Structure 1
Amino acid sequence: MDVAGAGRAVVTCRGGARLRIAILAAGAGGMICGSCMRDNALAGELRACGHDAVLIPLYSPLRTDTADNSSSGVFYGAVNVWLQYASGLFRRTPRFVDWLLDRPWLLRLAGRIGAQTPPAKLGDFVLSVLRGEDGPQTKEMRRLIDFLRTDVKPEVVSLPNAMFIGLAGALRRELGARVVCELTGEDIFLDALGEPHRSEARRLISGRTGDVDAFVATSRYYAQRMAEYLDVPAERIAVVHPGVPQRLIDAPRTAAEAGGALAVGYLARICPQKGLDRLLEAVGILRRMPGMSEVRLRVAGYLGAMHRRWFEMLRQRVRRLGLEEAFEYVGEVDFEGKREFLDTVDVFSVPATHPEAKGTYVLEALARAVPVVLPATGAFVELVEQTGGGLLCGAPDAQGLARGLAELLSDGQKRMETGRRGREAVRTMFTTRHMALRMLEVYDAAGGQRTGGVGAAEGVSGSGGRGADYP
């Protein structure tokens, strides 16, 4: 691939080719999710590189915090997919009925309802989707393939996660396209399925891995995790970390309030899995340390209906701890709101209870020169080690978090130096432009050897080497 002097110039692949790329992205039912933001940014950057990238929503319309790069229509609409699973009648309905059921407002409503359903209750439905061309939603598959064949003519089709791997064989066979499957955190959902659905889902996914030309994980940790989880050779999984927009790095920093109290920031989905309750406990401990009595906790992020009761219980805990004046929830924020929020905090922490596959919010904080304090788990380890932008706590508990927060909050010079170091690392290695260039290498390599795995083509390596494993 020719990337020399890329800047904003055209970046071509093998033989000077410009690729036609179809990026399938699974909507999150009205929630701004990390995978949607990643796919949306990737499509925009690939176009800026001179490639024909089409972003196609699945299930529901995409919602991101920047301009929407997706096409207008939704495929595999959540309502149609569910009804075709539940009843043979809807597998034979005419297109105008399906069109009505694909209205954006209805899909958003269905997404919100679906988000409140525990995975353990969705086992049979999940298996029906994983069966792909052998499942009950073949009408949806045919509509998608016909659209791709006539309107997009892709050379590469990117699946949003392994839950759609049942489509890979038909896409590859009927379109002659390279099929790339992203791995972005689906193990959490799969592990939440009840038995026997959990084991059957893993069996179905593992049985379809041969239909995929390349897998892409969002961290080295997750590449290793999924190689074992799905019984895929490690060399078949490339690593391409998420990226943040250049303008998040370059925007002038909002002036801090003179004499304001130090603040710890949390910017992620409001749910137990992200560890906000643990961070609250850590801040309570922190405020009892010398010189830390005025530290505040500022929180932002999406709060879904499923977790509102949990969050209200957390607020009650805030009151019991006497931290009402120290705790502030500002709600969900858009891109500009995110920048402004990060500029008001001095240290950032999202002590997730499950190892993170991506950790995009870590890079966002570092882009604003805000150092991070995180558990030494999942993608956090490599992100902190590669950026030098924070501290890792050995044990993911409140005491360890409090000590790490205190170390940075009590030393202004160290805090600023750590933040600046992290920001420069993001600037040089973790922008959306870097992400797009690395994905182009994966697409290029997948075309070089259809059955040999990503690592077999032109030096692009999986989780254990270099090449697509950046940085």
Structure 2
Amino acid sequence: MRVLHLTPGTGSFYCGSCLRDHALIRALRARGHDAIMAPLYLPLVTDREVSNPEIPIQVGGVTLYLQEKLPFLRFVPRFLLNWLNSPAILRIASNFIGMTSPRDLGRMTLGALKGEEANQWPEWKRALDWIKTEVKPDVISLSNGLLLGLCPVIKRDLGIPVIVSLQGEDSFLDTLVEPFRTESWAAMRSNAQHVDHFITASTYYGDTMAERLEVPRDKVSVIFNGLDVTAFAAARPDPNWPTIGFFARMIHGKGLTTLVDAYIELAKRGTVPRVKLKIGGSTMASDQKYHAGLKKKIADAKLTDRVEWHPDLSFNDKVKFFRDLTVFSVPATYGEAFGLYVIESMASGVPVVQPRHAAFPELIEATGGGILCEPDDVKSLADALESLLLDGPKRERLISSGTVRVRSEFTAVRMAEKFDEVMRLVKQKHGSR
């Protein structure tokens, strides 16, 4: 079966969605499918060579932004727009992600969701023409719900079944300023009626989005995100320097403030001598002020020499990062749809402490590789970290359970098997109409 997977790139940093998509495409190919991954917006950044390096970016982020702001650009010569979509220009543009004004961000999001009614449509239409005349897939897969604006036209003009993966759209849309938040959700609900099937990475998020998109729950399948577990080696932390790890986007929403405060609380107790904190993950220029505030808080606690910062690591360096950890926590403050970092930690033989909300209880139950604390509660997190750091036998039990289950149920192979089942079901239903 020929499947086309459309996924936005980040241009300059790794993201969980990109890694998941790349692993999925590779695993689908191993199953015999003609699977193609086409990048949107910015170049893809993955843990290995891009799946289809010969396929250029189909919808450039710079061009979309300019067409939204300056609609007359649809009449600009194509060679100039192609230059704006070149990888070099887009990688430069990626450095300014996060610096767009709230209103511009809302306008861009709504423009994409409104489809052919929006200023951005000429660029999207080019991509659909490419799909129709050159790719001719049996199934189209969209990596997230913010691409739903394409679905009405795909269904009407291309007649190709569409599968849409949902992962984190609510936490993004809910932060948009009005009227863009309300209008974007309305567009999402309308476009969702043109989707053949949805996939989410957790039951929690499937229930959440089925309700918010007003689609039947049986139209949404749960497939745990998978990864190439062979890339992760067993951790070998220094017993003389117990280390707490954090690896995600280095922002407040991922719970970094909560973890720093819990670490300071734990260090003050003195029950775990020489305890260290390693912070890693992607950053943007707009995050620097926030990081400076955290570093001052750590300095005031006289802990600067025991806290390490590792921004924007390569994939190989991230794998090495996990090897030094004793425990791991990303106590996200919002309703995380999955949290690939939890699985990466367990694949590395590192037990986790996560808040008792969103998808985390589901992941802990499915893996047995960690414990839960109360959400946004510094003391509860400090207590949970302390309990694991002081209880070696318990850590070993969690490590054993988490490693075994992740390596059996959270692999790219397992993810592709279940995705394959959904594709065949959708293709069969579509052919019977």
TM-score range, shorter chain: over 0.9
CA-CA distance at 1:452 after TM superposition:
11
Q: How does 1:327-342 map to 2 (within 5 A)?
A: 327-342=307-322
1:117-128 matches, within 5 Å, as 117-128=100-111
State which drifts further: 268-277 or 111-120: 111-120
Shift of 1:417: 1.4
Query: CA separation in 2, counterparts of 1:264 and 1:207?
Result: 44
Aligned with 2:231: secondary structure?
helix
Match in the other structure for 1:322: 302
Aligned AA (2:339) = G
Q: Secondary structure at the match of 1:238?
A: strand
Alpha-carbon offset, residue 119 of structure 1? 3.8
Write the mapping of 1:436-451 to structure 2, written as runs, cut at 5 A. 436-450=416-430
Q: Percent identity?
A: 37
Contact 1:148–1:154 (CA under 8 A) maintained in structure 2: yes
2-side partners of 1:254 and 1:232: how far apart?
A: 43
Partner of 2:401: 421
1:178 aligns with 2:158: no
Instruction: From the superposition, tell whether residues 119 and 66 of structure 1 become closer, same or farther in structure 2 (CA, over 3 Å).
Output: farther
CA 1:386/1:199 → structure 2, altered by over 3 Å: closer, same or farther? same
TM-score w.r.t. length of structure 2: 0.95
- Asked whether the equivalents of residues 372 and 391 of structure 1 are also in contact (C-alpha less than 8 Å), the reply is yes
Instruction: Tell me how far apart the structure 1 counterparts of residues 292 and 312 of structure 2 sit (CA, whole Å).
Output: 16
Deviations 1:126-183 (A, max 9, x none): 2221111222223212221222123321011111222211111222333321111111
What does residue 248 of structure 1 align with?
231
Partner Cα distance (1:260, 1:178) in 2: 56
Q: What is the alpha-carbon distance in structure 2 between the residues aligned to residue 262 and residue 452 of structure 1?
A: 59
User: 207, 212, 215: which is aligned to 1:229?
Assistant: 212
**2:221 is the counterpart of 1:238:** yes
> What does 1:3-14 correspond to in 2, within 5 Å?
none
Code of the aligned partner of 2:168: G
User: Residue 359 in 1 paired to residue 342 in 2?
Assistant: no
- Give the match's secondary structure for 1:373: strand
| Distance (whole Å) between structure 1 residues aligned to residue 187 and residue 349 of structure 2 | 43
- On the 8 A contact 1:38/1:243 being kept in 2, the answer is yes
The match for 1:307 is: 287
Matched, 1:296 2:276: yes
* TM-aligned CA distance change 1:448 to 1:183, over 3 Å: same
Distance 1:440 1:354, change over 3 A: same
- Aligned-pair distance for 1:44? 1.0
Deviations 1:215-249 (A, max 9, x none): 11121111111112222221111111111213135
Post-superposition offset of 1:256: 4.1
Equivalent residues in 2 for 1:48-447, closer than 5 Å:
48-71=30-53, 72-249=55-232, 251=233, 253=234, 255-257=236-238, 259-289=239-269, 291-447=271-427
Q: CA deviation at 1:255?
A: 4.5
- Paired with 1:79 and 1:171, the residues of 2 have a C-alpha distance of 24
User: What stretches of structure 2 of length at least 5 have no aligned partner?
Assistant: none
Distance 1:283 1:254, change over 3 A: closer
Instruction: Give yes or no for contact 1:158–1:180 (8 Å, CA) kept in 2.
Output: yes
CA root-mean-square deviation: 1.9
Structure 1 CA distance for aligned equivalents of residues 235 and 244 of structure 2: 16
State the shift of 1:290 in Å.
Answer: 5.2
Alpha carbons of structure 1 residues 170 and 294: separation in structure 2 relative to 1, 3 Å: same
* Cα distance in 1, alignment partners of residues 423 and 81 from structure 2: 33
Please report the TM-score for the alignment, with normalisation by the length of structure 1. 0.88
Whole-angstrom distance in 2 between the partners of 1:174 and 1:368: 46
Question: What residue in structure 2 maps to residue 45 of structure 1?
Answer: 27
* 8 Å contact kept, 1:23–1:56: yes
C-alpha distance in structure 2 between counterparts of 1:363 and 1:27, whole Å: 22
1:3 aligned residue: none
Counterparts of 1:267 and 1:365, CA distance in 2: 9
Once the two structures are TM-superposed, the CA of residue 339 in structure 1 deviates from its matched residue by 1.8
Distance 2:333 2:375 in 1: 11
Indicate the residue corresponding to 2:15 in structure 1.
33
2:333 touches 2:375 (CA, 8 Å); kept in 1?
A: no
In 2, the alpha carbon distance for the partners of 1:58 and 1:344 equals 35
Offset from partner CA, 1:47-90 (integer Å, 9 cap, x none): 11111111001111111233221443001101111222222321
Amino acid at match of 1:215: F
- Contact 1:266 / 1:298 at 8 angstroms: preserved in 2? yes
User: One-letter code of the match for 1:244?
Assistant: L
Q: Which amino acid aligns with 2:332?
A: A
Whether the 8 Å CA contact 2:171–2:335 is kept in 1: the answer is no
Aligned to 2:261, the other structure's residue is in SS state helix
Contact 2:41–2:57 (CA under 8 A) maintained in structure 1: yes
Distance 1:269 1:88 in 2: 33
Q: Aligned partners of 1:261 and 1:123: how far apart in 2?
A: 45
